Structure 1
Amino acid sequence: MNAPEPYKSTPVFDENTLPAGLRKEHRTKAGVWGIIRVLEGRLRYRVLDPITETILDPDHPGLVLPDQPHFVEPLGAMRMQVDFYDRNPSA
């Protein structure tokens, strides 16, 4: 079975254009998964329930589970994008 295609993607953000809403607690809707893809640089990904912290880079994307509170923080210069899915993209 092929991996699902995202139904929506954000623009590519850098450390200056990353929206404030992504830098503070937010969540996807129920039934929506996200994959945070770092294209260049590094990004801190903090999940608040359960509490975890991961450093994302081009080789290590971050999986956002439905309705899971989280936020991101750039670690210097970076470029990133989020892809959204209507089912678990890693299943």
Structure 2
Amino acid sequence: MTASPPDNLRKYAETRIFTKETIPGVLLKSHRTNPESWGQIVILSGALLYIRAHQLPQRIVPGAPGTIVPNELHRVETAGAVTFRVDFYRAYREAAK
């Protein structure tokens, strides 16, 4: 099951679009985001297997993104042809008035 991100997130970056042929090796190995960054794996076509530490693998498809929890070990595996990107978010605070 994918974690629910907090409501106070703003997108600050996104990767280029990857395919099965262009996916960076680092995404296929266990890695983690920094402690303040949430991510969302956005599938444009095809599917990926999203593997999080101590969780059952999750098949992610268009319309059902995978949520990356800050500082949690995770990786992906290709499941045939795929096109995807990763969006990155962090919490924001409204300025005092």
TM-score tier after normalising by the smaller chain length? 0.7 to 0.9
Q: Percent identity?
A: 35
Which residue of the partner structure matches residue 71 of structure 1? 75
Partners of 2:10 and 2:90 lie apart in 1 by 9
Which residue of the partner structure matches residue 14 of structure 1? 19
Deviations 1:30-89 (A, max 9, x none): 0100000000001000001x322100000210000000000001110010100000139x
TM-score calculated relative to the size of structure 2: 0.82
Query: Structure 2: which 5+ runs fail to align?
Result: 1-6, 93-97
Which residue of the partner structure matches residue 95 of structure 2? none
Matching residue's letter, 1:33: W
- SS of equivalent residue, structure 1 residue 76: strand
Aligned residues: 86
Partners of 1:67 and 1:80 lie apart in 2 by 21
TM-score calculated relative to the size of structure 1: 0.87
Alpha-carbon contact 2:10-2:90 (below 8 Å) kept: no
Which residue of the partner structure matches residue 26 of structure 1? 31
4+ aligned runs moved over 4 Å, structure 1: none
Higher strand proportion, which one?
2
Matching residue's letter, 1:68: E
